[in-house]
Amino acid sequence: MTTAKKTGGLAGVTAGATALCTVGKEGAGLTYRGYDIYDLSDNASFEEVAYLLLHGALPNRQELDGYIAKLKSLRDLPAALRQVLEMIPAGAHPMDVLRTGVSFLGNIEPEGGFSNQQDTADRLLACLPSMLLYWHRFHTDGVRIDTETDDDSVAGHFLHMLHDKAPSELHRKCLDTTLILYAEHEFNASTFAGRVITGTLSDMHSAVTGAIGALRGPLHGGANEAAMELIQKFSTPEEAMKGVMGMLERKELIMGFGHRVYTTSDPRNSVNKKMSKMLAEEAGDMTLYDVSEAVESVMWNEKKLFANADFFAASVYHFMGIPTYLFTPIFVCSRITGWAAHVMEQRANNKLIRPAADYIGPGLQKFVPIDER
Ligand code: COA
């Protein structure tokens, strides 16, 4: 039997089967349902990828048009949910807002049986950006935004609600690409949490609520916000190199680096890095990009640690005028596709997920009644 000592954090343990994704598989790399991530990020839209994950195959033109129309029709928020969002304090973290929002939606629009799982997934995909931006704009600008915009894409819809105007094609495309890169990643912590919840035959809202809770932490999705806070501390590459060297000497973690599965690079990083450079050039200020590159080179030279998907995603979002505290919630707006696909896959061949633990507590104790202790 495999013991916990050898498998701390389940590293290297195969905990189930999936047809959705390969992560760092020899000869395949990162694929979604057999499609290479670079083919998808270069040529597909996020809606095509969402359809691929949730429906099992890439859509044809007619299917995609129908899917986009369906998602657009599901963006509006029920009045009761808007009320709840208004009651959540302005100082809350938006990951907590989404966690509450999804949970509340599960009360007013319950899944009502597994035969509705596809529609539940589409509803969540369509309305998560609305939930997030409704709360954000209400508390930062004091406005109750219309969550139904004309934009066809999730990325366009997101940026439109955030900035009150349709985005440039460059910004829309860059956000769309990060949504593709974040959509799915096999048995990562939040997906696995969602599958554990699903394994008890619970509902999709519960699985997604739990997954949001898992994604929130800085060792997982929260790393993109922490990476932004790090690079903003430095005003020159030299300062960054010195600062990061000091952090490494103090054994501090540098967020946005390292990975449980990848050993030499994260395939998503090169795409994010290219976009970060492009957006820095557009902004006419290379400082953040140069600082990021300096951090990247110190991490590789000193520790052979590489930037993961979260590191350059941080500056990509920053250059589009997205506030840092919305970075991890964007991850949710994308990963909902992977989570929901895993919920459906788990249900299709369900077995309760209940591992064993090595007991390390005291031996059998003699019970002493309370008044004799
Ligand atoms: N900064 C500094 N050191 C790091 C590091 C980082 N980002 N990531 C790993 N290390 C070091 C660890 O301290 C450890 O050193 P040690 O052997 O001297 O104790 C060694 O590398 C192995 O790391 P470990 O934490 O055991 O690997 P893991 O597989 O358990 O963790 C992560 C993987 C992703 C949790 C880890 O790399 C990390 O914390 N990264 C930062 C958070 C992050 O970016 N998360 C997003 C992941 S997509």
Per-residue pLDDT of the chain (373 residues; tens, 9 = 90+): 444 455 689 998 999 999 999 998 888 899 999 999 999 999 999 999 999 999 999 999 999 999 999 999 999 999 999 999 999 999 999 999 999 999 999 999 999 999 999 999 999 999 999 999 999 999 999 999 999 999 999 999 999 999 999 999 999 999 999 999 999 999 999 999 999 999 999 999 999 999 999 999 999 999 999 999 999 999 999 999 999 999 999 999 999 999 999 999 999 999 999 999 999 999 999 999 999 999 999 999 999 999 999 999 999 999 999 999 999 999 999 999 999 999 999 999 999 999 999 999 999 999 999 999 9
Considering the four listed CATH numbers 3.30.70.20, 1.10.580.10, 3.40.718.10, 1.10.540.10, the one that applies to the domain covering 21-219+329-348 is: 1.10.580.10
The predicted pLDDT at position 27 comes to: 87
Alpha helix (H) ranges present in the chain? 37-43, 46-55, 61-73, 79-87, 94-108, 117-141, 154-163, 169-182, 189-199, 204-215, 223-231, 237-249, 267-283, 287-303, 309-319, 327-348
Torsion of CA 81, 87, 92, 94, to 10 degrees: 20
Which of the listed residues 253, 254, 295, 335 should we mutate to test ligand 1's pocket, taking the one with most ligand atoms within 8 A of CB?
253
Q: Facing residues of 25 across strands?
A: 29
**Eight-class DSSP state of 307:** B
Look at the chain and count its residues.
373
Tokens 């790090």 identify what position? 230
The radius of gyration of the chain from alpha carbons, rounded to an integer in Å, stands at 22
For residues 155 and 163, is the Cβ–Cβ distance under 8 A? no
Quick check: CB of 9 below 6 Å from ligand 1?
yes
**Local structure of 145: helix, strand or coil:** coil
Residue 220 a catalytic site member = yes
Question: How many whole angstroms separate alpha carbon 320 and alpha carbon 282?
Answer: 10
186: nearest Cα among 19, 356, 367, 11:
19
126: nearest Cα among 39, 181, 54, 194:
54
- Kindly list the distances between the CA atom of residue 77 and the CA atoms of 54, 134, 236, in Å, as whole numbers in the listed order: 22, 9, 44
Torsion of CA 196, 253, 275, 161, to 10 degrees: 60
Question: How many whole angstroms separate alpha carbon 21 and alpha carbon 180?
Answer: 13
Count of CB atoms situated within 10 Å of the CB of 290:
18
This prediction has a pTM of 0.95
Quick check: CB of 254 below 6 Å from ligand 1?
yes
- Kindly list the distances between the CA atom of residue 5 and the CA atoms of 1, 59, 360, in Å, as whole numbers in the listed order: 11, 45, 11
Choice among 151, 176, 203, 310 that is catalytic: 310
Instruction: Indicate the angle between helix axes 94-108 and 79-87, nearest 10 degrees.
Output: 150
* H or E element, residue 30: strand 29-32
Residue 310 a catalytic site member = yes
Kindly report the CATH number that applies to the domain delimited by 223-319: 1.10.230.10
Question: How many whole angstroms separate alpha carbon 347 and alpha carbon 339?
Answer: 12
* Domain range annotation of the chain: 21-219+329-348, 223-319
The predicted pLDDT at position 2 comes to: 45
Count of CB atoms situated within 10 Å of the CB of 273:
20
Question: How many whole angstroms separate alpha carbon 174 and alpha carbon 191?
Answer: 24
The predicted pLDDT at position 320 comes to: 97
Quick check: CB of 253 below 6 Å from ligand 1?
yes
- Kindly list the distances between the CA atom of residue 217 and the CA atoms of 95, 211, 268, 292, in Å, as whole numbers in the listed order: 10, 11, 20, 22
Quick check: CB of 257 below 6 Å from ligand 1?
yes
Sign (positive or negative) of CA dihedral 156, 272, 218, 16: positive
Q: Cα(253) to centroid of ligand 1, in Å?
A: 7
The torsion angles phi and psi of 308, rounded to 5 degrees, stand at: -95, -175
